[in-house]
């Protein structure tokens, strides 16, 4: 089972034999060239955005059409002959902080003498805007960022390569259909706006972040690179993956859809230089995807096609389910694996994702890879 | 003196008589249609981005060419016949916090028993990413946002219209020429990348912001709307406006260009319902535009054409030089003007900007207006 069977059919952008970029769908080890197969102009494009902007009815019809193309074998090229690109032109990139286990771990590591969760955390999905211009496709090498940081023992900051370079294993949600400025998108309208999901690694320089982030939040500690998978898995192929998330207490305010806390039963694997070092379970998240979207637009902020919002680091309750090196090494104090704390030059990280498919087996979402290059 | 003479010549996007959007230049009370005048395809565009991407040598040549068009009177239409639009397609929007007086005032208002400036503030220009999809053109009405907030006396948050809606009078910098991922843009390369400036009002819902912002920074308290002027004033027309900023102590790290702290002598006026309520002076800022750009890219983050970075609220040392209602009313405790604290429905705010021109007089930057609509 490849995980890329008829029940999956994710979308991406590819080029082949020196040609222009086009929209394609992956089926097993082939890519179906949707422009060659259909002649529709939205598929002769450098991103999925034109297609996504057409809305959920077109997404549904196209999925049916693609299933027919798979049967006919039309317009298919070997995956090995395709160069894969960033699938979307990212509008705004918002990152949430929706795992209770992650937020609690971070609180315990940085503020060991206080309550691990801050007062607002269980009332709203905390989030912030990231840099959309540095969202890159899986496989893009990540240059170790330099920046200003001050170690606890130092009186003055210094500038230099980050010594605490980290990953954040996340799931990303891709907005297809836009919304109007001033009009919140209600909780129940999630499926009318969100087209699908991507794997997402929110690379983080913990030393830069720690020095800069009070009071306006993470900035250069995150903005050097965020990697997403080549393939966008449509929500339609995740129908069998929906599951209840943990009960929320206190019950959130009405606009956050109390009593409908549904998430996705997606398993994640964090692979460091070929070894699985963690298995974060998305089903343990506190805030749901629909709650994040409702919150994001509750002030009337509009959505654009290509907007991307991340779940925040996915961490489960067990030590081997943590989605960041910060947590796996407990702030660098407890080396894990072969004595690791943070990322070293040359390290390769792969995030793998799988979920129940509608056909009874499992589908494999696009993975997210990146190798660390030395600081320039 | 209109402030829009031959020494200014700002760029914008307009449409007239039901036609397509085009790039134009304002001269006195006319708009020069650059596509009609030159036939260059980058001017038959819905934003300045295609033109800006061509880089500083083309910007310089075009400014000379436009000066010639002014003399000939070619391709000019009355300003009153032009509909003005958002001038740029915004890439990433970053907002800084570069006024010492503003940051100190905010510190005193929110943390009266502590040092007003946080430990990092004089070492780096603190900044964060805002929402680029809700950057709107001057004149766009601003719907009062609703959101979650918790008053100090309350144990639980509630959801409803913001009761502390505010402005932030800022200057915005527009990036023209992009940079490569992984390569910092040095302090001295500012003029190779930044095309010009806009007026900017970073509307803020203080009650939403206060409840949400720890630990990841402002989010929904800011993301509902950011207004910018229709006209982008090229850096070339601000040659006479450069001035020394206050001395920085401690001396910043090398990448922040120690000893070259040059800013712009731009006067700002905050006008509420026709009355000037404040006159923030940009020359009193602590962090310079070139320092903000160097910091923003110091981790290797790339620039895209259309990236926008704001100065943060401009506040001078005197009480009538404060750039936000939060400061003018000292957290709502000291009503100003006719008994005002925060914005009421129907209020109109205009931000006006002027600077020394190269011709010996003053130029008038594009103003930024917005009227508050009731919450939906």
Are B298 and A146 inside 8 Å of each other by CB?
Answer: yes
| Contacts of A336 by beta carbon, 8 Å cutoff, 6+ apart | A277, A325, A328, A329
| Contacts of B175 by beta carbon, 8 Å cutoff, 6+ apart | B52, B91, B193, B194, B195, B303, B304, B305, B306, B307, B308, B309
Q: What is the DSSP letter of B131?
A: -
Write the residue in A299, A307, A376 that is nearest to B224 by C-beta.
A299
Are A299 and B146 inside 8 Å of each other by CB?
Answer: yes
Which chain B residue has the Cα nearest residue A221?
Answer: B299
Are A145 and B299 inside 8 Å of each other by CB?
Answer: yes
Is it the case that residue B264 has pLDDT exceeding 70? Answer: yes
Is it the case that residue B17 has pLDDT exceeding 90? Answer: no
Q: Which is catalytic among the residues A102, A193, A230, A295?
A: A102
Cα-flanking dihedrals φ and ψ of residue B4, to 5°?
Answer: -120, 45
Report how far residue B201's alpha carbon sits from residue A60's, in angstroms, rounded to the nearest whole number. 41
Assigned token pair, A296: 């994001």
Amino acid A258: pLDDT: 77
Are A214 and B296 inside 8 Å of each other by CB?
Answer: no
Which chain A residue has the Cα nearest residue B110?
Answer: A215
Contacts of B103 in chain A (CB under 8 A): none
Contacts of B211 in chain A (CB under 8 A): 120, 124
Contacts of B127 in chain A (CB under 8 A): 216, 219
Q: Write the pLDDT tens digit of every residue in B211-233.
A: 999 999 999 999 999 999 999 99
C-beta separation of A85 from A19 below 8 A = no
Q: Write the pLDDT tens digit of every residue in B107-133.
A: 999 889 999 999 999 999 999 999 999
| Contacts of A61 by beta carbon, 8 Å cutoff, 6+ apart | none
Report how far residue B335's alpha carbon sits from residue B328's, in angstroms, rounded to the nearest whole number. 8
What band does B245 get if pLDDT is binned at 50, 70 and 90? very high
Report how far residue A49's alpha carbon sits from residue A89's, in angstroms, rounded to the nearest whole number. 7
B102 is catalytic: yes
Given a cut of 50, the residues of chain A with pLDDT beneath it are none
| Helix, strand, coil distribution of chain B in percent, nearest 5 | 25, 30, 50
Report how far residue B346's alpha carbon sits from residue B343's, in angstroms, rounded to the nearest whole number. 9
Q: What is the DSSP letter of A119?
A: T
| Contacts of B262 by beta carbon, 8 Å cutoff, 6+ apart | B242, B243, B244, B245, B288, B290
What band does B161 get if pLDDT is binned at 50, 70 and 90? very high
Contacts of B301 in chain A (CB under 8 A): 131, 133-134, 220, 223-224
Cα-flanking dihedrals φ and ψ of residue B351, to 5°?
Answer: -105, 125
Are B300 and A128 inside 8 Å of each other by CB?
Answer: no
Amino acid A1: pLDDT: 62
Q: Write the pLDDT tens digit of every residue in B297-339.
A: 999 999 999 999 999 999 999 999 999 999 999 999 999 988 9
Are B217 and A217 inside 8 Å of each other by CB?
Answer: yes
- Please spell the DSSP secondary structure of A180-218, one letter per residue: -TT----GGGHHHHEEEEEEEE--EEHHHHHHH-TTT--
Q: Write the pLDDT tens digit of every residue in A351-361.
A: 999 999 998 99
Are A301 and B134 inside 8 Å of each other by CB?
Answer: yes
Write the residue in A146, A214, A296 that is nearest to B120 by C-beta.
A214
- Rounded to a whole number, what is the distance in Å from the CA of B335 to chain A's nearest CA? 26
Amino acid B1: pLDDT: 62
Q: Write the pLDDT tens digit of every residue in B174-223.
A: 999 999 999 999 999 999 999 999 999 999 999 999 999 999 999 999 99
A262-281 core/surface letters (b: 16 or more CB in 10 A; e: else): ebbbbbbbbbbeeeebbbbb
Are A181 and B136 inside 8 Å of each other by CB?
Answer: yes
Contacts of B128 in chain A (CB under 8 A): 128-129, 216-219
Q: Which of A300, A303, A311, A370 has the highest number of chain B CBs within 10 A, making it the mutation to test binding with B? A: A300
What is the CB neighbour count within 10 angstroms for residue A67? 14
- Rounded to a whole number, what is the distance in Å from the CA of B6 to chain A's nearest CA? 36
CA A164 centroid distance within chain: 21
- Chains A and B form CB pairs within 8 A to the count of 188
Are B123 and A254 inside 8 Å of each other by CB?
Answer: no
Report how far residue A279's alpha carbon sits from residue A321's, in angstroms, rounded to the nearest whole number. 5
- Rounded to a whole number, what is the distance in Å from the CA of A337 to chain B's nearest CA? 28
Report how far residue A204's alpha carbon sits from residue A206's, in angstroms, rounded to the nearest whole number. 6
Q: Which of A91, A106, A129 has the highest number of chain B CBs within 10 A, making it the mutation to test binding with B? A: A129
Assigned token pair, A348: 């390769």
């Amino acid at each position: 089972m490849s995980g890329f069977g008829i029940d999956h059919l994710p979308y991406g952008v590819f080029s082949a034999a020196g040609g222009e970029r086009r929209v394609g769908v992956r089926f097993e080890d082939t890519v179906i060239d949707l422009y060659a197969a259909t002649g529709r102009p939205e598929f002769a494009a450098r991103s999925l955005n034109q297609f996504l902007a057409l809305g959920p009815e077109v997404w549904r019809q196209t999925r049916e059409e693609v299933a027919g193309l798979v049967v006919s074998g039309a317009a298919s090229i070997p995956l090995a002959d395709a160069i894969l690109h960033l699938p979307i032109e990212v509008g705004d990139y918002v990152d949430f902080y929706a795992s209770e286990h992650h937020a609690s771990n971070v609180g315990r590591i940085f503020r060991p003498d206080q309550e691990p969760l801050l007062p607002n955390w269980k009332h709203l999905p905390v989030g912030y805007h990231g840099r959309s211009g540095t969202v890159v496709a899986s496989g893009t090498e990540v240059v170790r960022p330099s920046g200003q940081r001050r170690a606890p023992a130092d009186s003055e900051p210094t500038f230099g390569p980050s010594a605490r370079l980290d990953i954040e294993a996340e799931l990303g949600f891709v907005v297809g259909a836009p919304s109007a400025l001033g009009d919140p998108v209600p909780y129940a309208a999630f499926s009318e706006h969100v087209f699908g999901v991507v794997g997402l690694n929110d690379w983080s320089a913990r030393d830069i972040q720690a020095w800069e982030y009070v009071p306006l939040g993470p900035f250069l500690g995150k903005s050097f690179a965020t990697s997403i998978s080549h393939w966008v898995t449509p929500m339609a192929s995740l129908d069998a993956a929906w599951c209840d998330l943990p009960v929320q207490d206190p019950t959130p305010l009405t606009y956050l859809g109390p009593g409908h806390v549904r998430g996705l039963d997606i398993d994640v694997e964090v692979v460091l230089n070929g070894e699985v070092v963690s298995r974060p379970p998305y089903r343990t998240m506190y805030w749901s995807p629909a709650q994040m979207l409702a919150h994001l637009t509750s002030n009337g902020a509009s959505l654009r096609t290509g907007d991307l919002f991340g779940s925040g680091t996915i961490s489960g309750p067990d030590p081997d389910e943590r989605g960041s090196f910060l947590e796996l090494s407990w702030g660098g104090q407890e080396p894990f694996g072969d004595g690791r704390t943070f990322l070293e030059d040359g390290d390769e990280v792969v995030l793998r994702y799988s979920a129940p498919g509608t056909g009874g087996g499992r589908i494999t979402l696009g993975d997210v890879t990146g190798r660390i290059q030395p600081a320039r």
